[in-house]
Amino acid sequence: MVQFTAAISLAVVCSFISTALSISAPLSSLKHADNTPPSSSHSPVYRDQIAKDALKRDSNYQRFTYNARQNGHSKIERVGVIGAGICGLYTALLLESIGIEYEILEANPKRLGGRMWTYRFNETAWKNSKPGKPEYYDYFELGAMRWPNIDWQKRLLSPSLNYSLINVINHHPKTAAKDKIDLIKYVFTMENNTFNYNDVFRWRFQGIEGDPFKIGISKGGNVPDSLAKQNATKIFGQALMNFTMQFQKSFEEGWKEVLKYDDMSVRHYLREKRGFTDIEIDWLETANDGTLHFELSLAQIAIENWLFSATEW
Ligand SMILES: *[C@@H]1O[C@H](CO)[C@@H](O)[C@H](O)[C@H]1NC(C)=O
Ligand SMILES: *[C@@H]1O[C@H](CO)[C@@H](O)[C@H](O)[C@H]1NC(C)=O
Ligand SMILES: *[C@@H]1O[C@H](CO)[C@@H](O)[C@H](O)[C@H]1NC(C)=O
Ligand SMILES: *[C@@H]1O[C@H](CO)[C@@H](O)[C@H](O)[C@H]1NC(C)=O
Ligand SMILES: *[C@@H]1O[C@H](CO)[C@@H](O)[C@H](O)[C@H]1NC(C)=O
């Protein structure tokens, strides 16, 4: 019996960043690399070390085996993992490390990694190009292109954590040199970013103090001057600080905190719990995010805000 539910609940934690693929194409099944039982592919010492490491970090494992027992499975037989994105691969690694058989179902016959994918519009043109040429920059990232360097995520991609997913992949005997994962620094903002609000253009290095964009009431806008003079990112960060702090303590603490407001959108929370007016909320939304994003659930945005509190990517 393939126990999809259990695999999904195990997978869910990392799916905040790397959402499991939803598969509509016919499934092609990715067998375990060489069709040997997973438990024999590593020496017991190696396996136990991964397991110990994983269990220490992952209270989900306990929940997972508990759920399986509650559902009447005295023994976990074989687990289906949906999608070979980062989340699916890490789930498989956890299962493998504790000797549970699994099968990853992946829709794409050509590549692994899910949304962690740089799409180049013209691969040939890119290969022939050099930095500085337009063709070199003719790409976009499909989602998981940057990774917050925060404790919670280290188990996946930290090059310095021995049993992180990236290290296991890079040290695996079957990983060819050309397939090794090489992380590069992600530049989030730079002094030469530009702002343009109310027809006022400004470079980031010029700063935003003193309401250059004429948002405040005294300059013809509609936001109270005391707020308009300040940095909207900072104000928004402070409004969600409680969640960020709890998440930094532990995922469980943060989760408990967001669930208290589970029925609220960000807009609702800012209005009802933090006392902002709708005009002020519109301003925070415009300056920090995108139109209608504050209609999203508070839980999602609080988690994003925690992840985006990372200073390194
Ligand atoms: C891709 O770029 C190459 C030049 O490097 C060009 O010959 C080719 O036509 C391009 N392909 C498409 C689909 O535009
Ligand atoms: C973990 O560290 C040991 C000793 O430094 C090394 O031999 C091994 O290849 C590492 N394993 C992984 C998965 O990084
Ligand atoms: C910002 O732009 C100026 C002028 O084009 C340039 O001299 C400077 O190096 C740029 N700074 C960065 C960090 O790219
Ligand atoms: C606004 O505040 C945020 C968070 O404190 C900071 O990272 C950002 O650089 C500030 N923005 C500007 C334009 O000064
Ligand atoms: C922050 O969280 C603590 C602990 O749950 C709670 O007691 C407090 O009321 C919260 N403060 C705000 C401003 O939400």
Ligand nearest the Cα atom of residue 161 = 2
The answer to whether the CB of 106 is under 6 A from ligand 5 is no
Q: Output the CA–CA distances (angstroms, integers) from residue 214 to 221, 224, 229, in the order listed.
A: 6, 11, 9
The mean pLDDT of 30-42, rounded to a whole number, is 36
Three-class SS of residue 59? coil
The answer to whether the CB of 42 is under 6 A from ligand 2 is no
33 pLDDT above the threshold of 80: no
The mean pLDDT of 165-171, rounded to a whole number, is 89
d(CA 197, CA 156): 38
240 pLDDT above the threshold of 70: yes
> What was the pLDDT predicted at 151?
79
The mean pLDDT of 91-99, rounded to a whole number, is 80
> What was the pLDDT predicted at 52?
57
Whether the CB-CB separation of 257 and 287 falls below 8 Å is answered with no
Ligand nearest the Cα atom of residue 254 = 5
Higher-pLDDT residue of 207, 31: 207
pLDDT band at 242 (very low <50, low <70, confident <90, very high): very high
pLDDT band at 189 (very low <50, low <70, confident <90, very high): confident
Three-class SS of residue 306? helix
Q: Which of 74-78, 100-104, 183-187, 248-252 has the lowest mean pLDDT?
A: 74-78
Q: Output the CA–CA distances (angstroms, integers) from residue 123 to 112, 127, 140, in the order listed.
A: 18, 6, 12
The mean pLDDT of 257-285, rounded to a whole number, is 96
Single-letter amino acid, residue 63: R
Higher-pLDDT residue of 159, 175: 175
Whether the CB-CB separation of 112 and 84 falls below 8 Å is answered with yes
Average pLDDT value over all residues in the chain: 79
Ligand 2 site-directed mutation target among 164, 167, 168, 181, most atoms within 8 Å of CB? 167
Write out the two tokens for 32: 């375990």
d(CA 78, CA 102): 5
pLDDT digits 0-9 by tens, 100-120: 788 999 999 888 888 888 889
Q: Where in the sequence of the chain do the CATH 1.10.405 domains occur?
A: 194-307
Q: Ligand 4: which atom is nearest the Cα of residue 204?
A: 13
CATH class of 194-307: mainly alpha
d(CA 262, CA 297): 8
Residue 246 Cα to ligand 5 midpoint, Å, equals: 10
163 pLDDT above the threshold of 90: no
267 pLDDT above the threshold of 80: yes
Residue 242 Cα to ligand 5 midpoint, Å, equals: 6
Q: Which of 66-80, 136-150, 234-248, 269-283 has the lowest mean pLDDT?
A: 66-80
The mean pLDDT of 197-208, rounded to a whole number, is 92
Higher-pLDDT residue of 235, 208: 235
Express as a percent the part of the chain with pLDDT over 90: 43
Whether the CB-CB separation of 119 and 129 falls below 8 Å is answered with no
Write out the two tokens for 111: 């590549």
Ligand nearest the Cα atom of residue 122 = 1
Whether the CB-CB separation of 53 and 77 falls below 8 Å is answered with no
Chain-centre distance for alpha carbon 8: 16
> What was the pLDDT predicted at 62?
57
> What was the pLDDT predicted at 150?
82
d(CA 270, CA 232): 13
Ligand 3 site-directed mutation target among 185, 187, 188, 192, most atoms within 8 Å of CB? 192
Q: Which of 90-99, 163-172, 232-241, 278-287 has the lowest mean pLDDT?
A: 90-99
pLDDT band at 297 (very low <50, low <70, confident <90, very high): very high
